[in-house]
Amino acid sequence: MKIRYFKETDTLYIEFRQSPVAETRDLDENTQVDFDERGGICAMTLEHASERADLPALDYQQVAA
């Protein structure tokens, strides 16, 4: 999983897994989701990210099952 923030364009890109993108769907005018050929989510793009998310804070936790 990779999370990238592009300050110049205020874009947040979250890649859940590296997989060829078969389709991109718009959730709204500033949110796109990429899907692989089997319908699994590959990535998500958020435009105007600083207005829509608390970007300075990133909390990652791996929780045991």
pLDDT score of 45: 97
Token code pair at residue 16: 């859940």
Which has the closest alpha carbon to 44: 55, 30, 57?
A: 30
Counting Cβ atoms within 10 Å, is residue 35 exposed (0-12), middle (13-18) or buried (19+)?
Answer: middle
Asked whether residue 57 carries a pLDDT value surpassing 90, the answer given is no
Spatial separation of the C-alpha atoms in residues 53 and 17, rounded to whole Å: 21
Counting Cβ atoms within 10 Å, is residue 46 exposed (0-12), middle (13-18) or buried (19+)?
Answer: buried
Query: What rounded mean pLDDT belongs to the chain?
Result: 91
Q: What is the pLDDT of residues 2-33, one digit of tens each?
A: 999 898 999 999 999 999 999 999 999 999 99
